[in-house]
A and B are shown apart, each in its own frame.
Chain A
Amino acid sequence: QVQLVQSGAEVKKPGASVKVSCKASGYTFNIYGITWVRQAPGQGLEWMGWISAYNGNTNYAQNFQDRVTLTTDTSTRTAYMELRSLRSDDTAVYYCSRGEFSSSSAYYWGQGTLVTVSS
């Protein structure tokens, strides 16, 4: 069965960077892209970007264009999301996800990774 397993919770100081991993299993990794979505405490979902696991092409949300980098490692079937210059309002649960029926929807989700930014 398809599984996306994310790395554990992180605590970072303002200005630091964080790299969250998302290890995929149960399917051919390079056929599907990975989408990253975040959710601040008590807030809604926010789309961050998408990466093709086939060729590494990326699309980033304008809000994160200059601070986020999405990558994949096909040898380990793992996707990564790196966010730089962290601020307190980056405190959120970060999710990786994958489509199944449509490239514009997310059917499989990771369990989420809480990133806390605090001095």
Chain B
Amino acid sequence: QSALTQPASVSGSPGQSITISCTGTSSDVGGYKYVSWYQQHPGRAPKLMIYDVSNRPSGVSDRFSGSNSGNTASLTISGLQAEDEADYYCSSYTRSNWVFGGGTKLTVL
């Protein structure tokens, strides 16, 4: 199973908005509404930020939003804050399995 494609890095200044893309195929991202996004700080376990494309778990800031178009899912973070600096991973359900993206390092300038 091939990994989903994410940009290696993105950056933005505090207060700005950024979008991280996650490109798959019709067998994963495009075929199911089961895309999730995780935030991971160094040395920590991942944290679920978005599930089922666009749903936020309770306690996750509404600055985080998810969407999907065709075979590409996106995570948008608005009003960037210093604590948003982390690695972000997308994942998608696919034929009884999951597949992750390669990860995107977000730098808050």
Binding site for B on A (CB under 8 A): 35, 37, 44-47, 50, 59, 61-63, 95, 100-102, 104-107, 109-112
Contact = CB atoms under 8 A, between A and B. Distances in A.
A102 B97 contact: no
A45 B52 contact: no
B10 to A, nearest CB: 15
Given A47-B97, A112-B45, A101 B52 contact: yes
B64 interface: no
B94 to A, nearest CB: 10
A46 B100 contact: yes
A95 B57 contact: no
Of residues A45, A61, A95, A106, which shows the largest number of chain B Cβ atoms within 10 Å of its Cβ? A45
Contacts, number: 70
Given A45-B38, A62-B1, A107 B48 contact: yes
B28 to A, nearest CB: 11
Given A45-B89, A59-B96, A59-B97, A101 B38 contact: no
B23 interface: no
B30 interface: no
Contacts of A107: 48, 51, 57
A24 B74 CA distance: 32
Contacts of A37: 46, 100
Nearest to B40: A45
18 contacts: A37-B100, A44-B3, A44-B89, A44-B100, A44-B102, A44-B103, A45-B38, A45-B91, A62-B1, A95-B45, A101-B51, A101-B52, A102-B52, A104-B93, A106-B36, A106-B38, A106-B46, A112-B45
B46 A45 contact: yes
Given A95-B46, A102-B36, 17 more contacts: A44-B100, A44-B103, A45-B38, A45-B40, A45-B46, A45-B91, A59-B97, A62-B97, A104-B51, A104-B52, A104-B92, A104-B93, A105-B52, A107-B57, A109-B45, A109-B46, A112-B45
